[in-house]
Chain A
Amino acid sequence: MKIKIPEIGGKGDEIVLTAWHMSAGAHVREGEPLAEVVTDKASFDIECPCDGTLTKVLKKQGDVLKINEVIAEISCSNKQRKE
C-alpha cells in the first residue's frame, strides 16, 4: 500500500518531511505515527493505515513534498485497512 501526503490544505504551501518515526523493515500498527510533515503554519502526523511491515521509505527528512506524493510503502497484514 502506498503512503501518500494527504490533502492537508493550503495548495501553495511547501510541505517539508521533518521526521520519520519508523524505519524500513519495521512492523507497524494501524494508527501509529509514521512520519511528521510541516507546512508554513501546521505540523501533521502521517499515520500507518494498517498493521503490517514498512517495506519502502522513499523520502528522507528535509525533503520538500507535494500533496499526493508517495513517501513510503507498507505491506498490510490485516484485512481491514484505513484509506
Chain B
Amino acid sequence: MDYADQNVERGLSGGRLAVLDLGVTRYGDAFRIQLDNLEKRITRGIPDTLIVTEHEPIVTLGRLSSDSNILNTKYFGDNSISIERTNRGGDVTYHAPGQLVFYPIVDLSAWGRDIATYIDFLEISVMKALIEIGVCAERIRDVRGVWARDRKIAFTGVAVKKWITYHGVSVNVNNDVEPFRHMNPCGIKNIKVTSVMNELGASQDLNRIKDIFCRHFISNFENQIR
C-alpha cells in the first residue's frame, strides 16, 4: 500500500503546522514517507508538517543503542516482532497499534536552531495533552521523555538534516506495554512503562486522543515560532 498517495489530511491544518495522518503503517513505509516529506520540506515544497501514525509491532534501536538493551530477544521472536536499527537519536523502544507516533517535519531555522528546545517542545506538547486527557503527566529533570509519576509513557528520539527535523515522539495509549518489560526502554534499566489505558483504567477513543494531541502540537508550535 502506498501511504504517500493517501495524503490524508485530518482537517486540523488550519495553522502553520499541517497534519498528515497515515493511520497504521509498517515502520519502513512510514520512514520512507518521512524522508519524502523531509526532502520536500528542505526544498520548501511543503510547510512544516506533523506526520501521525501507529506502527505495526516493531522494536527499533537508535544510533547509540546497544543490543544488550534488548533483554529477551526470544520473546520478540516468539511474538513475530521484528527488531530494526534506525537513524534517530535515543535508544531502544517498541511500537504497536494503539500507540500514537508523531513525526514533526519542522524547519528549526525558525527556532534558533536549538535541538534541545525542540525536544522540550515535543515533551511539553505531549505532557499538556496527557494532562487534558486526565493522566497525571510530568517531565523529570535530566531524564528525557514524559512520565506518569515513576512510569514512562512517552519516548523521544529525533534526527535533523539541514536543520529540518524527522523522527519524533511516541505515546502509549491503548497498546499493551508488556513488550517493554523485555528491554531497557531508552537504555534505562529497571523502569516501569505505562499507557493512557493503564493510567485511566479503560481503553480510549484513539481518534479523540489523536485530535487532542494534534491540537496541543499545533498550539505549542505556533507559540514557539511566534
Bound Cα distance from A11 to B144, whole angstroms: 14
- A25 CB within 8 Å of chain B: no
At the interface with chain B, which of A43-51, A52-60, A71-79? A43-51
Within 8 A of A (CB), among B132-168: 144, 156-162
Partner of B115 from A8, A18, A31, A47 at Cβ < 8 Å: A8
**A36 CB to nearest B CB, Å:** 8
Give the size of the chain B interface in residues (CB under 8 angstroms): 22
Residues of A that sit less than 8 Å from B by CB? 6-11, 13, 16, 18, 31, 33, 36, 38-45, 47
Known: A9-B116, A44-B160. 16 other contacts (CB 8 A): A7-B113, A7-B114, A8-B116, A9-B118, A10-B116, A13-B116, A33-B161, A38-B62, A38-B89, A39-B115, A40-B64, A40-B90, A42-B88, A42-B115, A42-B158, A43-B160
Of residues 155 to 203 in B, which have CB atoms within 8 Å of A's CB atoms? 156-162
Contact A43–B63 (Cβ < 8 Å): yes
Indicate if B68 sits at the interface (CB-CB under 8 A): no
| Chain B residue contacts of A40, Cβ below 8 A | 64, 89-90, 144
B117 at the binding interface (Cβ < 8 Å): yes
Q: Dominant SS at the B interface?
A: mixed
Is the Cβ of A41 less than 8 Å from the Cβ of B156? yes
Q: How far is the CA of A21 from the CA of B62 in the complex (A)?
A: 18
Min CB distance B49 to A, Å, is 19
Interface members, chain B 105-137 (any A CB < 8 Å): 113-119
* Closest chain A residue, CB of each to CB of B119: A41
